[in-house]
Amino acid sequence: MLAEQRLGKWLTSGKPAPLQSSHSWRPRRSPALKRCVAAVSSSPSVDTAAVFATDKRPIVLFDGVCNLCNGGVRFALTQDPQESLRFAALQSNIGRALLQRCGRQPDDISSIVLVEEDACHIKSEAILRIGRRLRQPFPVGAAPLFVLPGFLRDGFYDQIAGSRYNVFGKQDVCQLQHDQHADRFLQ
């Protein structure tokens, strides 16, 4: 009854009712993610062709505030002694521009993306292609997973990605580069 009275007051006052549920349809952004997004422009102005003009290595776009994603980047750095991969946070200007180049929204941080000069790969496909570039046994271990249909792999990926903040937590700031590997991070 109390809720009905409040709703009645809001309807007659002409003011919009405040959201009562934490499960509203609006996406909620953490303060850390808001700082990352605020640090970049709303429409990235980066020449993505220039990114591959002198360096053909693919670029891994990752969520810069996600602990799971940052752990994956640290793992890839240690397992890629040939330095065949470069990295950029999805929230960075270059990350947002490359997302648009791949036909995705510039603020879409829902998936890891592997950007090659002539192709883009997301979700499980990106992870498997990254795995093929790492030292043994990861290329061999990833090979059988290519046989699984993409919808099965991506379904599993979506389950993990959807709960990554709750299970693994977030950083307070974007992790854009490591001092030891600064040349492999694009900003």
Which residues neighbour 42 within 8 Å (Cβ) at sequence distance 6 or greater?
A: 106
Give the CATH number of domain 31-39+55-176.
Answer: 3.40.30
Check if the beta carbon of residue 73 is closer than 8 Å to that of residue 87.
Answer: yes
SS3 91: coil
Tally: H helices and E strands in the chain: 9, 4
Q: What is the reported pTM? A: 0.73
Domain ranges of the chain: 31-39+55-176
pLDDT in tens, the chain (187 residues): 444 444 344 344 444 333 332 322 333 444 444 444 444 444 457 888 899 999 999 999 999 999 999 999 999 999 998 999 999 999 999 999 999 999 999 999 999 999 999 999 999 999 999 998 998 887 676 667 777 888 999 999 999 999 999 999 998 777 555 677 888 999 7
